[in-house]
Amino acid sequence: MRGNTIRRIFVALIIIAPVFSYTGCKKQARCGCGKDVLLTLSATSSYIYFTDGATISAMIVGDAYSTYIFCNPSEMFPKLANAKSGDILQLSGQVYWDCNYVYQSSNSSYQSLYKTYDVQVTDLFLNLYGKNKPVSGN
């Protein structure tokens, strides 16, 4: 009789335990500029790549697997007047998921090491020997 009671309690615990262990749905971060901020960069050394009048992208020094696409390239082009594509500059701004990356990764069973983010750049400057200098020479 005692073994039967223990067995019933054990079965009841198996049925009831998931109710108490459920933590709810985790909200997925929204993608795109101005949505949910993933992280904030502050004077982070980055390789900056650009072509005149087109997009600007960055790769953080030491992280060859992530690309950061500028949300506001038209605001940042004047700061690149004296820079060459591929120069290392100090980048500050807020980082978001890139929607194209999110859609492609959600539709694929293959998980890529390479990630793409959007970045709303707040500052972009050259750091010469610890002294901040605007790239445009101003």
Q: How many residues does the chain have?
A: 138
Mean pLDDT by 10 residues, the chain (138 residues): 75 72 66 90 94 86 93 90 90 94 79 89 79 54
CATH code of 27-134, in short, is 2.40.50
Structure tokens at 43: 């004077």
**What is the identity of the amino acid at 115?**
K
What kind and span of H or E run contains 102? helix 99-106
Give pTM, 2 decimals: 0.72
Contact between 37 and 94 under an 8 Å Cβ cutoff? The reply is yes
